[in-house]
Amino acid sequence: MFIVNSYALAVVLCFVTMLCWGSWGNTQKLAAKSWRYELFYWDYVIGMFLFSLIIAFTAGSIGTEGRPFLQDFAQADPASLGWVLLGAVVFNVSNILLSASTSIAGMAVAFPLGVGIALVMGVLNNLLLHPVEGQNTALLWLGVALVVVAVVCNGVASGKVSNEQRDPAQNRKGIILALLAGIIMSFFSALVYNGVDLENFSSPAAGKITPYTAIVVFSAGVFLSNFIINTIVMKKPFVGSPVTYAQYFKGSFKTHLVGMLGGAIWCLGTSLNYICAGKAGAAVSYALGQGAPLVAAIWGVFIWKEFKGAKKDVYGLLAAMFGLFIAGLALIILAGK
């Protein structure tokens, strides 16, 4: 299987993770005009699962290092698989809560709050559960702090250009959902890594699994848990009227394909994040990947023109965001070197 053997390559691929995690939302934006999020999410998880199989049977099965995907899956300990499945359920719950928060309170509130909490607590969880010898934790935390401030700058800037008036009660509901989403999301990667041998991908311990098996099991867990979690949300949505499976099957092929593309993009980023964790460390790879909201901001500024006509102070906040973001990423990279 393909294994990352240098820290420099691990950092590069972590940046690809960041790009993928920050870009898949464009597919939801493309489908949103005629497609509810709950319906889009089904295509998203299907695309995620299908792409995980492609990754596993290609990069996860070639070469002489490590165990090929099928061999690795066959020898996996039930406990290792259980940790990954638990991480999948945790992720699925948090992702749906974050999306619901976004629909209620808006991107400017939901993402800085939810992802900011997920970033800080997620790094802490990974440091506690999967520490790396020689890692500079002081630099790591300073880098994380700068990224969090950058995310907050993005949220303030977004809020200044939003003309939408929101009901205070609904806004509080959105904030509570974002808080819950961030807290829950912070645990998913550390749980997954409990089942993976982060010390040696070339010769993983018996019973432990490789990142390629982990992404397949994880994606399967998200897909299967969706029958419960998303079905409940479809019947009892946080906002809007209920949607049905009949509506889903009335969607066009193009609409379904866009959603599956979103899932494939997210899965590619997550696969690379798992692959790089052995060399960069769980905390550093997670921290770099969770810079994704800033990538989403770049899409919003330069492609979707969401800040067109904004006042100078808004562009000042955006400039500060990008500067803090770059500085924070540089410190995170140095921390893991």
Rounded mean pLDDT of 234-251?
93
Distance, CA of 92 to CA of 115 (rounded, Å): 15
What was the pLDDT predicted at 109?
65
* DSSP bridge partners of 209: 196
What was the pLDDT predicted at 172?
82
pLDDT tens digit sequence for 123-163: 999 999 999 888 899 999 999 999 889 888 877 887 777 65
Distance, CA of 307 to CA of 313 (rounded, Å): 12
User: Between residues 178 and 106, which one has the greater pLDDT?
Assistant: 178
Segment among 49-53, 90-94, 178-182, 299-303 with least mean pLDDT: 299-303
Question: What six digits make up the tokens of 181?
Answer: 């989403």
Would you say residue 295 lies in a domain?
no
Would you say residue 321 lies in a domain?
no
pLDDT tens digit sequence for 65-98: 899 999 999 999 999 999 999 999 999 999 899 8
Rounded mean pLDDT of 110-129?
86
What was the pLDDT predicted at 106?
65
What was the pLDDT predicted at 298?
81
What was the pLDDT predicted at 170?
75
What was the pLDDT predicted at 166?
56
What was the pLDDT predicted at 193?
96
One-letter amino acid for residue 308 of the chain: K
What was the pLDDT predicted at 108?
60
- Give the rounded percent of residues in the chain with a pLDDT score beyond 70: 96
Would you say residue 328 lies in a domain?
no
- Which structural domain, as residue segments, surrounds residue 91? 7-136+164-289
State how many domains the chain has: 1
What was the pLDDT predicted at 110?
73
| pLDDT of 258 over the 60 cut | yes
Would you say residue 275 lies in a domain?
yes
One-letter amino acid for residue 149 of the chain: V
User: Between residues 115 and 205, which one has the greater pLDDT?
Assistant: 205
Would you say residue 148 lies in a domain?
no
pTM for the predicted model, two decimal places? 0.91
Would you say residue 128 lies in a domain?
yes
User: Between residues 246 and 173, which one has the greater pLDDT?
Assistant: 246
Segment among 66-80, 122-136, 209-223, 267-281 with least mean pLDDT: 122-136
| pLDDT of 115 over the 70 cut | yes
What was the pLDDT predicted at 296?
76
What was the pLDDT predicted at 128?
92
| pLDDT of 240 over the 70 cut | yes
- Give the rounded percent of residues in the chain with a pLDDT score beyond 90: 64
Confidence band (pLDDT; 50, 70, 90) for 247?
Answer: very high
Would you say residue 111 lies in a domain?
yes
| pLDDT of 164 over the 60 cut | no
Segment among 41-55, 123-137, 288-302, 311-325 with least mean pLDDT: 288-302
Segment among 104-108, 226-230, 284-288, 303-307 with least mean pLDDT: 104-108
Would you say residue 263 lies in a domain?
yes
Rounded mean pLDDT of 17-29?
88
